[in-house]
Amino acid sequence: MQRGSQSIFKNLFNEPATAPASPEQPTRHQKKIQCIIDYYYCTGRKKVPVSGRMVSINYFSLINLVAETFFLSPVTVREIIESNREKTDLLKQEWKDKEPEAIQKAMQKKWPMLVW
């Protein structure tokens, strides 16, 4: 046995467990859900070109786009949106009078890893 091999093992696997996240700090799952809701709302407010006109994206196309972006099924995305309706409604109230460009900037700042 090599010298020091046991000390490496003890240092790696005998560390104290980290404290659980505090209730006011969101977990990774909660952050993912919030990101999906934000993306759903922001993308739903955008206009897309159709036959030379700028129109809002329809609901089914929006659900499919969010599903593709987050590697989820459309059914899962609909369930997330429906089960978090209060978060979606709060987001709508917060951003209802803002321009899509302002919303997009805020989302880029909040979620810089996504293409808005």
- Whole-number mean pLDDT of the chain? 84
pLDDT per residue as tens digits for the range 57-98: 899 999 999 999 999 999 999 999 999 999 999 998 998 888
| Contact (CB, 8 A) for 36 and 66 | yes
pLDDT at position 93: 92
Beta-carbon contacts of 59 under 8 Å, excluding residues fewer than 6 positions away, are: none
Q: How far is CA 109 from CA 38, 103, 104, 114, in A?
A: 12, 10, 9, 10
State which residues form the domain around 64: 26-110
Q: Does 31 fall in a domain?
A: yes
For the chain, how long is the longest CA-to-CA vector? 73
Q: Does 13 fall in a domain?
A: no
| Contact (CB, 8 A) for 70 and 77 | yes
Q: Does 91 fall in a domain?
A: yes
pLDDT at position 68: 93
Show the tokens assigned to 44.
């739903």
The 10 Å Cβ neighbour count of residue 52 is 5
pTM: 0.72
pLDDT at position 62: 93
Show the tokens assigned to 97.
């009078």
pLDDT at position 102: 87
How many angstroms separate the CA atoms of 42 and 92, rounded?
10
Q: Does 45 fall in a domain?
A: yes
Tell me how many domains the chain contains. Answer: 1
Beta partners for 55? 48
